[in-house]
């Protein structure tokens, strides 16, 4: 075999490969999620929750969700652009420059000046200590109370800490966790650098990690070319043999069609197919013979599916007659009216600080929802487009920001009063279903 010269070539290319492929300052893998906490100061303990940032998808660049805003970014390791409405892609971060004019979709932070004051800061956060961080000092902000003044960035992690103006002085936010999207998506075995294809650079990536202290594979299953449960020199040899000497291809999921690792007993669970999602459901009723069932409710929704519009279907079931039942409107102005079943049913989606409901329908005439309930079943559909909203109101307020990835619950309930032999009785009927919103 002529594998010796090929390995020698890979080793010879290690220094230049390390220089040519530094770690990403913003790792834009779909599913990546950064969670921040408000801290007592630089390196201080957490004193409250902070925002989250998500990589939502990679269509037309990468879409991020941060500080209640969804926006598109694209670029290279050091030059990241942001899409500003009406202007297209403009400079956002220039990590290798000493100073630049920063563009942003946050109006008061747009056109501020960022200066690289240091490239060797150590930053202590709730998620760990990061070395050789870039410290960016910010001037020219019009955010008199709330604009960022300093940011710290760590290679291959992203924004790990920042300070922000406030009335009481600077407020600090630091990274509390960085959850990578590895394992959320199928992969090609041997694609160690995760550029979507197998090439010499993958073998160089493996060798640089083993011999020169280069960056480690995010998921070692990607670099376990021979699928033996370990990453070593043999993986680079097997890959080089396949690429240049007609050797056998790497085992499944293989080098051509992305998939998950069928060898689930190895030390690398990051390559395994995610377990089935569990979507809890519950229901309760203290109204005899009356219940609500959630039907056709999805367990997992992508952001795109939600944005395109989804219908949650539920059924009101009445098994016995209930004359003179009063059903209470549950919106802010009590504008809701009874459906075909004779009951007012109120649905909303919530979780993680997000909420969608028809809770504010504006001004209306007083609603009298008293009906004689008859046995039967009635199907109701509740539409949602993946965004926050409290209802149309009397001002025609538009829908808000999209829900970020996470777990959310749709709850349907009906409340009111019904007569009985023992006198008037109050009732509450509810049903809920938890679903997963994924990139």
Contact between 329 and 344 under an 8 Å Cβ cutoff? The reply is yes
417/207 Cα distance (integer angstroms) = 73
Q: Taking the mean position of all CA atoms in its chain, how far away is CA 134? A: 25
Per-residue pLDDT band at 1 (split at 50, 70, 90)? very low
State mean pLDDT over 285-305. 90
pLDDT digits (tens, 9 = 90+) for 76-91: 878 899 999 889 999 9
263/250 Cα distance (integer angstroms) = 13
Per-residue pLDDT band at 70 (split at 50, 70, 90)? confident
Residues sharing a CB contact under 8 Å with residue 139, sequence separation 6 or more, in sequence order: 112, 113, 115
19/56 Cα distance (integer angstroms) = 30
State mean pLDDT over 372-390. 95
Task: Give pLDDT, residue 18.
Answer: 45
Q: Residue 24 above 70 pLDDT?
A: no
Per-residue pLDDT band at 183 (split at 50, 70, 90)? low
Contact between 388 and 349 under an 8 Å Cβ cutoff? The reply is no
Contact between 248 and 214 under an 8 Å Cβ cutoff? The reply is no
Q: Helix H segments across 314-436?
A: none
Share of residues in the chain with pLDDT > 90 (%) = 54
Residues in the chain: 439
Q: What angle do CA 273, 274, 278 make, to 5 degrees?
A: 145
Q: Residue 292 above 90 pLDDT?
A: yes
State mean pLDDT over 235-253. 94
- For residue 134, give the nearest of 114, 151, 156 by alpha carbon: 151
Q: Helix H segments across 39-132?
A: none
Contact between 381 and 311 under an 8 Å Cβ cutoff? The reply is yes
Task: Give pLDDT, residue 184.
Answer: 60
Task: Give pLDDT, residue 338.
Answer: 92
The values of phi and psi at residue 85, to 5°, are -55, 130
Bridge partners of 272, per DSSP, are none
Contact between 290 and 325 under an 8 Å Cβ cutoff? The reply is no
pLDDT digits (tens, 9 = 90+) for 427-436: 999 999 999 9
Per 3-state DSSP, the chain is made up of helix, strand and coil in percentages (nearest 5) of 15, 40, 45
List the domain boundaries for the chain. 3-22+182-271, 33-179, 281-438
Task: Give pLDDT, residue 21.
Answer: 45
Per-residue pLDDT band at 251 (split at 50, 70, 90)? very high
Q: Could you give the angle at which helices 3-12 and 233-244 cross, rounded to 10 degrees?
A: 110
Q: Comparing 12-26, 50-64, 104-118, which segment has the lowest mean pLDDT?
A: 12-26
Q: Residue 374 above 70 pLDDT?
A: yes
Burial class (CB in 10 A: 0-12, 13-18, 19+), 55: buried
Task: Give pLDDT, residue 386.
Answer: 95
Task: Give pLDDT, residue 145.
Answer: 65
Strand 425-438 relative to strand 300-302, pairing: parallel
Per-residue pLDDT band at 7 (split at 50, 70, 90)? low
Contact between 135 and 116 under an 8 Å Cβ cutoff? The reply is yes
Task: Give pLDDT, residue 345.
Answer: 96
Q: Residue 72 above 60 pLDDT?
A: yes
Task: Give pLDDT, residue 250.
Answer: 96
Task: Give pLDDT, residue 296.
Answer: 72
Q: What angle do CA 320, 322, 323 make, to 5 degrees?
A: 145
pLDDT digits (tens, 9 = 90+) for 123-154: 999 988 999 999 999 998 877 666 788 999 99
428/289 Cα distance (integer angstroms) = 12
321/164 Cα distance (integer angstroms) = 61
Per-residue pLDDT band at 12 (split at 50, 70, 90)? low
DSSP state of 189: T
Task: Give pLDDT, residue 11.
Answer: 54
Please give the model's pTM, rounded to 2 decimal places. 0.57
Task: Give pLDDT, residue 168.
Answer: 74
State mean pLDDT over 419-427. 93
- For residue 419, give the nearest of 371, 378, 377, 376 by alpha carbon: 371
Alpha-carbon distance values, 334 to 46, 256, 324, 367 (Å)? 41, 58, 19, 7
The values of phi and psi at residue 164, to 5°, are -140, 140
* Cis geometry, peptide bond prior to residue 253 (ω within 30 degrees of 0): yes
Highest mean pLDDT among 211-225, 248-262, 352-366: 248-262
State mean pLDDT over 252-257. 92
* Domain 281-438 classification at class level: mainly beta
Q: What is the dihedral of CA 200, 205, 207, 213, to 10 degrees?
A: 160
Task: Give pLDDT, residue 272.
Answer: 85
Task: Give pLDDT, residue 58.
Answer: 66
pLDDT digits (tens, 9 = 90+) for 161-172: 999 887 778 899
33/29 Cα distance (integer angstroms) = 9
Task: Give pLDDT, residue 29.
Answer: 77
Q: Comparing 53-67, 79-93, 157-171, 321-335, which segment has the lowest mean pLDDT?
A: 53-67
Share of residues in the chain with pLDDT > 70 (%) = 92
Q: Residue 287 above 80 pLDDT?
A: yes
Residue with tokens 């992508």: 302
Q: CATH classification of 3-22+182-271, choosing from 3.40.630.10, 3.30.2310.20, 3.40.50.720, 1.10.1330.10?
A: 1.10.1330.10
In sign, the C-alpha dihedral spanning 299, 300, 303, 309 is: negative
Average pLDDT over the chain, rounded to whole?
87
Q: Residue 17 above 50 pLDDT?
A: no
State mean pLDDT over 253-271. 88
Q: Taking the mean position of all CA atoms in its chain, how far away is CA 166? A: 28
């Amino acid at each position: 075999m002529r594998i010796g010269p090929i390995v020698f070539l890979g080793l010879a290319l290690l220094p230049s490969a390390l220089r040519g492929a530094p770690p990403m300052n913003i790792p834009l893998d779909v599913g990546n999620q950064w969670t921040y906490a408000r801290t007592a100061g630089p390196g201080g303990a957490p004193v409250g929750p902070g925002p989250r940032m998500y990589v939502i998808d990679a269509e037309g660049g990468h879409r991020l969700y941060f500080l209640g805003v969804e926006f598109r970014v694209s670029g290279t390791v050091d030059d990241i652009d942001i899409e500003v409405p009406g202007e297209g892609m403009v400079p956002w971060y220039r990590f290798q420059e000493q100073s630049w004019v920063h563009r942003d979709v946050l109006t008061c932070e747009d056109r501020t000046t960022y200066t690289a004051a240091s490239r060797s800061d150590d930053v202590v956060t709730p998620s760990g200590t990061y070395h050789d961080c870039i410290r960016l000092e910010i001037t020219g902000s019009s955010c008199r109370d709330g604009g960022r003044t300093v940011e710290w960035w760590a290679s291959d992690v992203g924004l790990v800490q920042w300070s922000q103006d406030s009335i009481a002085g600077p407020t600090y936010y630091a990274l509390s966790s960085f959850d990578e999207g590895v394992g959320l998506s199928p992969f090609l075995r041997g694609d160690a650098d995760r550029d979507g294809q197998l090439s010499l650079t993958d073998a160089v990536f493996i060798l640089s990690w083993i011999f020169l202290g280069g960056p480690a594979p995010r998921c070692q299953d990607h670099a376990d070319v021979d699928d033996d449960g370990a990453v070593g020199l043999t993986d680079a040899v097997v890959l080089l043999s396949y690429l240049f000497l007609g050797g056998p291809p790497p085992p499944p999921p293989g080098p051509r069609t992305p998939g998950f690792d069928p060898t689930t007993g190895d030390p690398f669970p990051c390559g395994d197919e995610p377990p089935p999602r569990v979507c809890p459901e519950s229901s309760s009723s203290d109204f005899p013979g009356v219940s609500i069932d959630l039907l056709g409710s999805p367990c997992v929704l992508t952001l795109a599916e939600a944005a395109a519009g989804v219908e949650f279907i539920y059924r009101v079931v009445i098994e016995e007659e209930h004359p003179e039942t009063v059903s209470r409107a549950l919106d802010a102005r009590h504008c809701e009216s009874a459906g075909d079943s004779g009951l007012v049913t109120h649905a909303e989606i919530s979780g993680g600080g997000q909420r969608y409901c028809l809770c504010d329908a504006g001004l209306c005439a007083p609603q009298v929802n008293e009906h004689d309930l008859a046995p039967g079943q009635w199907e109701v559909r509740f539409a949602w487009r993946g965004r926050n909203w409290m209802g149309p109101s009397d001002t025609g307020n538009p829908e808000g920001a999209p829900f970020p990835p996470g777990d959310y619950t749709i709850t349907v309930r009906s409340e009111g009063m019904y007569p009985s032999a023992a006198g008037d009785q109050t009732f509450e009927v509810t049903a809920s279903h938890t679903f997963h919103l994924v990139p």
